[in-house]
Structures are given as C-alpha cells and as structure tokens.
Structure 1
C-alpha cells in the first residue's frame, strides 16, 4: 500500500472513530489528512469505497498486532487466548480499530453496501479462530469434541460485544481480558452434549 493511501486511510479511521460511519463526510477526511477531496476520490472513487477500504485497513492492522508466533512450542490454546485478548489493549491504534469495527457493524444495519465487506472480513476472522481451535485439538490443548466453527462464532461474538463496553469505559482492559479468558476456558471444555 502506498504511503499516501495509508495516510488517507489512517485519517479516515480517526474520523470514523470520532464521528461514526453515518457522520463520515469526505470533506472531513480531506481536512483530517490535509489533502483535497479530489485526491480521496482519486484513490477510493466514492464514500463507499473509502469506508470499505478503511475497514480492510483496520483488519490488516489488527492482524499485525494480534499475530501469533509460528513454530512456537506454546500450546495453541494459549495462542488462541493471546489472539482474542489482543483485541483489548491500552493502545490508541487498538482502540481506534475497535471503534471503526463497531461503527461499521452498526452502519451495515442501514447501509447494505457495507455488508459484503463486513461479512468477508468477519468470515476470515472466524476461519482463523476455527483453524486455531482445530490446531489445538491436534496438539491436545483443546478438547477434541469442541465444534471449532461454532466455538469460533461464539468467541468472536463475545469479543465484539465486550469491545463496545470496553470502548464506552464500562469495562477496563483487564476486565475485558478476564472475561475472554473465562469464556475461552468454558467454551473449549465443552463436550458434544453441551
């Protein structure tokens, strides 16, 4: 990604985090980035393209701070906890990402054009978590009877729900992480009759 495009997306994320998607105006992003509206239209075609690109951008940023070490001897169960808990950090970028995700999820209720990208990126996250659960079943750190896909849906939904409370100051970072750890323990101990 070009540096200019990345700077425009960073500015877009800041504006979305402050005003929401429904309040996003291209003029505000241009002012935030210190560029002309024309440049934004050149890179993103329209407001919808800008929002979609911003969501993809925050998803890529999240993958960078939530990445797990390959080839590590750490049990996969612990890596999964680290991945989910990474969504709660006292870090400006993490908070901004969480705010953008929440705003886009809410806006997708009203803006059908956002749903496809949101669904695609959510599916990518679900697949990553389900694959980690399956890897944990292979290494013995996760119960073999856990339905990896269903567990991934519940765990990522929990993280999304906790995120809104965390951003609103209703939960501390430590509390959000503790809830994720407790839910993970309960979810991964399920047997097929639960």
Structure 2
C-alpha cells in the first residue's frame, strides 16, 4: 500500500512539474481548422489567379500587378486571423475543461520563443514582397514557421517539433521548385496541419 501511494505521489509531482513548465492545453482541433482555412485560402488564391488570366499550373514565374499583390496579401492575413482565433478558442475551451490557466509565465515564454523566428520570417517575407521576389515567399514562410515550431517545443507538447521538422523540409524542397509555392504552401499549412491536428486530438483528447 505504501509503495502504491509513493508511486502515486511521484506521478502527481511529475504532472505538476510538467504543467508548470509546459503549455499542454493546445487543441488538435485548432490545427484542423487552421489547415482547412489554409486549403480554402489556397483554392481561393488559385481562382483569383485564374480570374486574372494566370494559369498557375503552367509553372511560369509571373509578375503580379500591385492590386493583385494587395489582394493576395489580404487573403493571407484573413487566413492567419482565422487560424489564430480558432487556436485561441479551442485552446481556451480545453484549458477551462482541464481547470488550467491559459495565460501564465509558461505561456509568455512560449509566445516569446515562438515569436522570434516567426517575426523575423515575417519581416524577411515583407522584404521579398517589396522587391517583387514572390516565388521565394512560400518557401520562406514554411521554413521560418517550422523553425518557430521547433523552438517553441520546449514549452509545449513535444510532438510540435515533428510538425516543425516537416514544415522546414517542405520549405527547403519548395526552394528547388520555385513557381509552385502555392502547392507547397497548401500542403504545409493545410494538409500537414489537418493531419497533425487529428493525431493530436486523438492522442491528447
């Protein structure tokens, strides 16, 4: 009996330490929603390009008019907002269900660690955009996003780093297939997020 209580105490202490050092309320469903938003966005971008008379699958490196660049940028911002909102809503619900605080010191460390490579990548992509180097933007977003996930793994679920590795590899591959960034972007932010989200939802529900 004493041995059983001893193991239970150790398990409880280990659980408390993990909760204090890692943000463990991330919801797999938020990944699914973010992935669906990315896929819908990618399809919409393809339709916009068709509307402008651009056959994306010809593989040409097209020069986009400023108005079209603004529209594509706006679509990207909308997708980002949907992903962030869904992440917050599902994560807040999961935290409340588990009786955990969503905002604490660990969350702050997670956000800072995640934001450094992400903001750096965002500024880098803005520079590419201003220089009309559009074909490099999709690979860059995938690589920097993957680096952000790998960096943030220490403060959240360890499985996050595997998604990060996949995003980095996909982004590096996209560098060798310039002009096909939309496809790689849809796979990275769409398909991978959905698969990862479903796995995490089943594993940590």
TM-score (norm 1): 0.33
Larger Rg: 2
Higher-RCO chain (CA-CA 8 Å, sequence separation at least 6): 2
TM-score (norm 2): 0.32
Higher share in helix: 2
